[in-house]
Amino acid sequence: MQIQQNISLKQYNTFGIDVNAANFISIENKEELKTFLKGNKQPILILGGGSNVLLTKNVEGIVLKNNLKGIEKLKEDNNSVELKVKSGENWHEFVLYCIANNYSGIENLSLIPGSVGAAPMQNIGAYGVEVKDVIMSVEAMNLKDCSIHHFKNKSCEFGYRSSIFKTKEKGNYFITSVTFKLNKTPKINTSYGAIEKELNQRGITQPTIKDVSDVVISIRKSKLPDPTEIGNSGSFFKNPIVSKDIKEKIRASYSDVPSYSQSNGDFKLAAGWLIEQCGWKGKIIDNYGVHANQALVLVNYGGAKGADIFKLSEDIINSVKNTFGIELEREVNII
Ligand SMILES: Cc1cc2nc3c(=O)[nH]c(=O)nc-3n(C[C@H](O)[C@H](O)[C@H](O)COP(=O)(O)OP(=O)(O)OC[C@H]3O[C@@H](n4cnc5c(N)ncnc54)[C@H](O)[C@@H]3O)c2cc1C
């Protein structure tokens, strides 16, 4: 266990923001984490893949880079399998592992960057699937007293891009592993239009989970900028959920507003569409801006400061508020 000083975090966040961490340590196992926490007095920033953070300043305390690795099979029968996955495993590699073993449930979540441990943090979701649907429990170590807690699915309080770890228990735990229950008899979900369309184009009528994963990967590659080429953190804002009245009010002026009905009668609007209507799509300010193909994605063209990108996000929030009366919420964690 070696603490390094004054480390650049540029390669540890997908935005590619160049700030320094006063102290930095890679955590390889739970015992190491416990030993470290017992002697620690500094503020902690946990980093997995750094794909959902915007670093706006130097980190004065210590960065714990999660490197807990391993996949353990807890239980298996003819229908399902339970896997306990250490939190430092790469999410997409875990998805590929499941596909290779014909374990179904997360193929729609292919190619989402980051670690397994961060997946429950914001209940990652894409193409009609959320990770909460396959999580049985989350194991986490309390950062103050090193006690281990097992959060059952229900006590994680999962919501749209949210969980108890992002709300009530924010900053209190290091997620050490996640236990998933996956299907051995594939339940294919092609409810998301783009998947169905792409499968049709490929002439696939009875898709396997590998087919779904391949299609999702190809759609994502065509839509989202690759962080290894252009710094970004995926969707910067959440899609706002509004009442029917508000949706209708907007529809009166913008007949083409996309909206998706929710089970409680509310409607989800596309944040990217709202931002685009305000004229931000493709906007470039010095070395950062709004992506040309997807207005929900803010980008660093190289050398941008986190504080500048934060200011841009504030300007976008104000502009959408003035135009539509809707206050966008950031999905990305601002550090
Ligand atoms: C190109 C691109 C596309 C994306 N597409 C999607 C998408 O489709 N759907 C989606 O939901 N997200 C998407 N994201 C966002 C991101 O990939 C996910 O939120 C991912 O789960 C973040 O994982 P990470 O390990 O990189 O987290 P990090 O960025 O390292 O951390 C995120 C937050 O979680 C905390 N944290 C991380 N690990 C732990 C831990 N073990 N214990 C406690 N706290 C922890 C951090 O302190 C931080 O606050 C995308 C990002 C990019 C760059």
Instruction: Please tell me the residue having the least CA distance from ligand 1 atom 32.
Output: 52
CA-13 nearest atom, ligand 1: 29
Q: How far is the CA of 52 from the centre of ligand 1 (A)?
A: 4
157 backbone φψ class: left, alpha, beta (φ>0; ψ -120 to 50): left
The residue written with tokens 């997360």 in the block is: 106
Q: Say whether 93 is catalytic.
A: no
CA-wise closest residue to 50 among 228, 203, 240, 176 = 228
The residue written with tokens 């699937």 in the block is: 129
Among 51, 110, 235, 313, the one annotated catalytic: 235
- Determine whether the shortest distance from the Cβ of 88 to ligand 1 is under 6 A: no
- Determine whether the shortest distance from the Cβ of 87 to ligand 1 is under 6 A: yes
- Assess contact for 67 and 27: CB atoms under 8 A: yes
Residue 293's pLDDT is 92
Mutate to test the pocket of ligand 1, among 32, 64, 112 (most ligand atoms within 8 A of CB): 112
Residue 269's pLDDT is 96
User: Cα 137–142–145 angle (5° rounding)?
Assistant: 145
Q: Say whether 161 is catalytic.
A: yes
Q: How far is the CA of 65 from the centre of ligand 1 (A)?
A: 13
Q: How far is the CA of 2 from the centre of ligand 1 (A)?
A: 25
Q: How far is CA 207 from the centre of its chain?
A: 26
- Determine whether the shortest distance from the Cβ of 66 to ligand 1 is under 6 A: yes
Torsion angle in degrees (nearest 10) through CA of 105, 151, 263, 104? 0
Tens of pLDDT along the chain (335 residues)?
799 999 999 999 999 999 999 999 999 999 999 999 999 999 999 999 999 999 999 999 999 999 999 999 999 999 999 999 999 999 999 999 999 999 999 999 999 999 999 999 999 999 999 999 999 999 999 999 999 999 999 999 999 999 999 999 999 999 999 999 999 999 899 988 889 999 999 999 999 999 999 999 999 999 999 999 999 999 999 999 999 999 999 999 999 999 999 989 999 999 999 999 999 999 999 999 999 999 999 999 999 999 999 999 999 999 999 999 999 999 999 99
- Assess contact for 18 and 10: CB atoms under 8 A: yes
What is the amino acid identity at position 143? L
Q: How far is the CA of 49 from the centre of ligand 1 (A)?
A: 7
- Determine whether the shortest distance from the Cβ of 14 to ligand 1 is under 6 A: yes
CA-wise closest residue to 208 among 124, 103, 111 = 103
Residue 142's alpha-carbon distances to 61, 117, 218, 229, 253, in angstroms, are 18, 14, 39, 36, 50
Mutate to test the pocket of ligand 1, among 15, 24, 52, 161 (most ligand atoms within 8 A of CB): 52
Cα gap 335→333, rounded to integer Å: 6
Cα gap 20→273, rounded to integer Å: 35
Among 104, 161, 233, 330, the one annotated catalytic: 161
Q: Say whether 222 is catalytic.
A: no
Q: Exposed, middle or buried: residue 218 (CB in 10 Å: 0-12, 13-18, 19+)?
A: middle
Cα gap 115→178, rounded to integer Å: 11
- What kind and span of H or E run contains 334? strand 333-334
CA-wise closest residue to 335 among 176, 91, 171, 118 = 171
- Determine whether the shortest distance from the Cβ of 109 to ligand 1 is under 6 A: no
- Determine whether the shortest distance from the Cβ of 294 to ligand 1 is under 6 A: no
- What kind and span of H or E run contains 212? helix 209-223
